Amino acid sequence: MTNNEIALLINSKEKIDDKFAIWMAHYDILQSRGRIFTKDNDGHEVSKIYCNCSNCNKIPENKKNKKLYLLMFNQSFTALREELEKTSSYREKLDIWINRFGINYCATYINEDQELSILPETSSEIEDYNKMQYNLWKNHLFSFKGKEKYCKTDLFSRVDDLNKQLLLSPFKDEVIKQTKTQILVQYESEVNSKTKQYFNNLIIGKPEPFNLKIWELTELINYIDANEAYKFLCYLHNQNMIIKEAFLSHAADVIAERDKGMTWTQIAKYFTERAVQFNRDIPYADKNFLNLEDKNGKKVSNKRTAFFENLKAFSPNEQFEIINDLCDSYSGTPGAIQLKQLLITQYKDLRMTSPIDDSAEKIEEVSGILSMFPKAEAAYNTAVEKFKNNIYQRNAVDDLRLSLELLVKEILNNEKSLENQQAELKKFLTSRKVLPEIANLIWANIDNITKYHNRYVKHDDNVGKTDSETMLDMTTTIIKIIIKAAT
């Protein structure tokens, strides 16, 4: 119902109890600040049902209604308190609070001598609180409801505008060069000093910590502005990087493999969806393969050729996302795991989003099936939580390796270190009908993980964000394959 329709329904009632009941069914009394009014469709107050201000409380009729207001306020306050008391973590409590009150929530509500507060206390709670605020305000600022100043300055809006400009100019390198200069000039001389400081610190690899103090709203907005500009600058920097055609051709050979790869119907449907998403024209979209002809009017010889030509229609960043996604979706196709490993190691700078965003469904799936192995599950979930909070330190990668090691120990029923499980793990996998080539490939990935861990993580060397994301991707894929074989 619209606000106007709710107002008409309220005004049709004579009893104050009925008016209150209808109002309570559509609005939150804890957010009312003691002002129970009907509203118009723009959210403006229209007619008073009850007001708790000192002047209104002098009116006899209003004083009578105060008991009803306090009763309903107390009921709502108590219900929320009991719901929060059932939670086991601050993050769960925060989710409940945000789902109820949204972006403009108040951090504290008081009822007589009782207080409900979402304000964080520990450093981990402060980090969760700031991250939640950051994401809420980022989504708000860059939505159509956001401020005009910000709503077209997020990464994806900037990239969209750049692509439109590139389509109109034959001098693509010059367009990218000038755009890069414009960003640097803008954040040197056209923004406030705090935004400039944040932007410059991001460039030299010094992001702001989220766990030291509660961020003020102005600080959040400045940092969001700086961070979106920084991500766009990174995007421009990577525009000169391309995925070589030999790699794209190899991707087509693997993913569109004749027997176990994608069918042509699947290929046509997938690329059509991606073409709409990225606003691209693809040469082959007809789901009937027999209808496909190349630019010279000749029949297309096989689905791999059409896959390859469609893939070439996308930008390098988009090609990365497409290949990465298809390697996950068709991980059972021979060579898909190895292809993903090559993609991430050779072209990791083309990734526009974190693996948490890219692989959310896969991570959720692995978290679910790991429940059969609680020790491995605990270590894996701890690692994922650190990635969600943008903690790319050695202990996050260490947790991933520990999860994999605990899983293999439990499945093989031994206490060997991960490095010494090669023979038994391969034997186990082949006994579960995993092809020897796939078993060898799985072990090759595990071997790379353990070597990386022993060389860098164990000795507390600097573990960068990109390397950490690669480890998350690889470990999640391996865990998923091993559990599916085991069950």
At 308 the pLDDT is 93
Least confident of 8-12, 322-326, 350-354: 350-354
pLDDT tens-digit map of 428-486:
998 988 888 888 888 988 988 888 887 776 544 555 666 777 788 888 888 988 888 87
Q: How far apart are CA 28 and CA 51, in angstroms?
A: 15
CA distances from 235 to 1, 188, 271, 402 (A): 43, 19, 23, 34
Indicate if the pLDDT at residue 327 is higher than 60: yes
Eight-class DSSP state of 47:
E
Beta bridge partners of 293: 299
CA distances from 10 to 62, 76, 353 (A): 17, 20, 48
Q: pLDDT over 90 for what percent of the chain? A: 23
| DSSP three-state, residue 221 | helix
pLDDT tens-digit map of 383-418:
887 776 555 456 778 888 999 999 999 999 999 999
Highest-confidence segment of 97-101, 265-269, 454-458: 265-269
Of residues 22 and 466, the one with the higher pLDDT is 22
Q: What is the mean pLDDT of residues 68-82?
A: 88
Of residues 127 and 219, the one with the higher pLDDT is 219
Backbone angles phi, psi at 297, to 5 degrees: 85, 10
Strands 45-51 and 35-39, by their bridges, are: antiparallel
Q: How far apart are CA 469 and CA 474, in angstroms?
A: 9
Q: How far apart are CA 459 and CA 409, in angstroms?
A: 24
Buried/exposed code over 364-391 (b: 16+ C-beta within 10 A; e: otherwise) = eebeeebeebeebbebbbbbbebbebeb
At 219 the pLDDT is 93
C-alpha 415, offset from chain centre? 36
| DSSP three-state, residue 261 | coil
Indicate if the pLDDT at residue 306 is higher than 80: yes
Among the listed residues 53, 47, 49, 46, the one whose alpha carbon sits nearest the alpha carbon of residue 20: 49
Q: What is the mean pLDDT of residues 194-211?
A: 90
Q: Is 356 exposed, middle or buried (0-12, 13-18, 19+ CB in 10 A)?
A: middle
CA distances from 222 to 149, 180, 194, 199, 229 (A): 12, 20, 7, 9, 11
Residue 150 pLDDT class (50, 70, 90 cuts): low
pLDDT tens-digit map of 170-185:
888 899 899 999 999 9
Residue 101 pLDDT class (50, 70, 90 cuts): confident
Of residues 284 and 240, the one with the higher pLDDT is 284
Of residues 303 and 62, the one with the higher pLDDT is 303
At 266 the pLDDT is 92
Q: What is the mean pLDDT of residues 83-102?
A: 85
CA trace torsion 411, 486, 363, 462 (10° rounding): 40
Q: pLDDT over 70 for what percent of the chain? A: 91
Of residues 339 and 301, the one with the higher pLDDT is 339
At 291 the pLDDT is 80
